[in-house]
């Protein structure tokens, strides 16, 4: 007996930490037959605003594109400007930038763990991970002055040097986070209910993954090993020793395993950076930021953020304002066209579960 098809609007709020995005579904009983995504609830017209601001005024505005993890944005814009101008960055600044980026990656993985468990109904996990993430945010506040939006990385280096004793405090926080990992494992990753719920849900086929534009942890969860930090090393990633984990399966469970292993790799990267950090200058000074003109040219730069590959296309025509800055976040493809394909055949209860595992972040879909 065939069930009648109804239309269902799954509105801007979702359980877990996703953001404002609407999915219009056609359901027959409890399974989804057709899905259509609607975005645009958070559109602020960043790219138009950046054409009206001078180059130095673009840095505070660029970090607000991605709300959970603002540092890859600043780093991309800074690296694009340095490439167009031909400006050199001192070694110490590169090491500090890598440390800040990896700390931001740890904080975002903490939020992801909370969101993934929260959308399943396990509310103890967000209480733990969001509370532990606060220690990393305390470090950011001491270093840069702001809790969420740092505005610390800019063209030519970083804004100020590390305070005294900072690396000791970072190592203490890393030791504490490593001691919490067995608790997270017991609650979420070794939990039989999470495994049964997550295996076989939201599968991305391996032979079509690159053609559909999948990047980041979802791609590594299919068994394909690609990472911007290895393919095109930027800053000092070619001098560090780390692994890129993969898992087979392509479903929510394998993506969770990949992110759990990358958490440990990030902690070891920060330890290596602190060991090898040289002395020296932290900033290559811009002559006068108020009348700073970038020569004509263009650049395309990429970074590996916690959710995938982040790309920036910057065009300059020689004046003191940018001509065009085009931002491409990983969620642009994951959240709009990929989601419509893999939701077919899923239960209604699994929709926000799949959205959390792909890492959809609507502020960067519509900027």
**x-marked contacts with other proteins along 311-340 as a string, rule CB under 8 A:** x-x-x-------xx-x-x---xx--xxx--
Q: Which member of 117, 130, 173, 273 binds other proteins (CB under 8 A)?
A: 130
CB of 315 to other proteins, least distance (A): 6
Examine residue 67 and tell whether it contacts other proteins (CB under 8 A): yes
Reading phi first (left if > 0) and then psi (alpha if -120 to 50, else beta), residue 195 is in alpha
**3-class SS at 211?**
coil
Contacts of 192 (CB under 8 A, 6+ apart): none
Choosing from 71, 82, 262, 309, the residue that interacts with other proteins (CB under 8 A) is 309
Asked if 349 touches other proteins (CB under 8 A), the answer is no
218 binds other proteins (CB under 8 A): no
Two tokens, residue 47: 């790219």
Q: Applying CB under 8 A, does 126 fall inside the site for other proteins?
A: yes
With H, G, I as helix, E, B as strand and everything else as coil, classify residue 249.
coil
Token pair listed for 22:
């609407």
Residues 236-295 that bind other proteins (CB under 8 A): none
**Would you say 178 and 263 are in contact if contact means Cβ atoms under 8 Å apart?**
no
CB of 54 to other proteins, least distance (A): 14
Site string for other proteins, 149-188 (x = CB under 8 A): x---------------------------------------
By beta-carbon proximity to other proteins, the closer residue of 195 and 326 is 326
CB of 89 to other proteins, least distance (A): 16
Smallest gap from Cβ 348 to other proteins, in A, equals 16
Nearest to other proteins of 249, 330 (CB atom): 330
**DSSP letter (8 states) at residue 56:** T
Please say which residue, 40 or 163, places its beta carbon nearer to other proteins: 40
**278 to 91, 108, 261, 275, 315: CA distances (angstroms):** 7, 28, 28, 9, 33
d(CA 232, CA 302): 8
CA nearest to 140, candidates 114, 169, 112, 113: 169
Binds other proteins (CB under 8 A): choice among 33, 42, 162, 274: 42
List, in sequence order, every residue forming a beta bridge with 241; answer none if it has no partner: none
The reply to whether 40 sits near other proteins by the rule CB under 8 A is yes
- Of 350 and 366, the one with the shorter C-beta distance to other proteins is 366
**CA atoms within 13 A of residue 362's CA, in its CB half-sphere:** 19
Q: Give 41 or 242: the residue with its C-beta nearer to other proteins.
A: 41
- Look at residues 261, 267, 253, 264 and name the one whose alpha carbon lies nearest to residue 218: 253
Site string for other proteins, 72-91 (x = CB under 8 A): -----------x--------
Contact predicate 267/284, CB 8 Å: no
Q: Which residue, 133 or 255, has its beta carbon nearer to other proteins?
A: 133
CA-based end-to-end distance of the chain: 45
Looking at the Cβ atoms of 31 and 127, the one nearer to other proteins is 127
CA distance 215 to 228: 10
Task: Please report whether residue 131 would count as binding other proteins according to CB under 8 A.
Answer: yes
252-261 burial: b if 16+ Cβ within 10 Å, else e:
bbbbbbbbbe
Cα–Cα distance, 184 to 366 (Å, whole number): 33
Half-sphere exposure in the Cβ direction for 48 (13 Å, CA): 4
Provide the binding-site residues for other proteins, judged by CB under 8 A.
Answer: 11-13, 17, 19-20, 39-45, 47-49, 51-52, 60-61, 64, 67-68, 83, 111, 114, 126-127, 130-131, 133-134, 137, 147-149, 210-213, 226, 231-232, 300, 302, 309, 311, 313, 315, 323-324, 326, 328, 332-333, 336-338, 363, 366
């Amino acid at each position: 007996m065939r069930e009648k098809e109804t239309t269902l609007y799954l509105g801007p709020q979702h359980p877990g930490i996703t953001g404002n995005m609407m999915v219009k579904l056609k359901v027959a009983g409890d399974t989804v037959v057709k899905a259509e995504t609607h975005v645009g609830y958070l559109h602020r017209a960043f790219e138009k605003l950046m054409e009206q601001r001078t180059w130095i005024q673009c840095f505070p505005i660029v970090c607000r594109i991605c709300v959970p993890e603002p540092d890859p944005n600043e780093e991309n814009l800074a690296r694009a400007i340095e490439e167009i101008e031909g400006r050199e960055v001192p070694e110490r600044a590169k090491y500090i930038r890598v440390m800040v980026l990896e700390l931001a990656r740890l904080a975002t993985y903490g939020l992801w763990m909370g969101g993934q468990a929260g959308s399943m109904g396990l509310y103890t996990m967000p209480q733990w991970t969001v509370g532990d993430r606060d220690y990393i945010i305390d470090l950011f506040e001491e270093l840069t002055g702001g809790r969420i939006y740092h505005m610390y990385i800019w063209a030519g280096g970083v804004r100020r040097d590390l305070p005294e004793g900072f690396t000791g405090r970072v190592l203490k926080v890393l030791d504490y986070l490593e001691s919490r990992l067995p608790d997270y494992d017991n609650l979420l990753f070794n939990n039989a209910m999470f495994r049964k719920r997550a295996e076989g849900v939201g599968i991305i086929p391996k032979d079509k993954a690159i053609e559909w534009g999948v990047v980041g942890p979802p791609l590594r969860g299919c068994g394909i090993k690609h990472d911007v930090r290895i393919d095109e090393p930027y800053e000092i990633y070619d001098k560090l020793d780390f692994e890129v984990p993969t898992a087979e399966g392509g479903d929510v469970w394998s993506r969770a395993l990949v992110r759990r292993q990358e958490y440990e790799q990030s902690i070891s990267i920060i330890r290596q950076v602190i060991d090898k950090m040289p002395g020296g200058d932290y900033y290559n000074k811009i002559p006068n930021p108020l009348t700073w003109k970038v020569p004509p040219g263009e650049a395309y730069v990429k970074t590996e953020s916690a959710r995938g590959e982040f790309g920036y296309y910057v065009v300059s025509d020689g004046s003191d304002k940018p001509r065009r800055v085009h931002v491409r976040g990983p969620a642009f493809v994951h959240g709009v066209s990929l989601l419509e394909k893999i939701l077919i055949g899923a239960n209604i209860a699994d929709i926000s579960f799949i959205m959390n595992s792909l890492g959809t972040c609507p502020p960067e879909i519509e900027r």
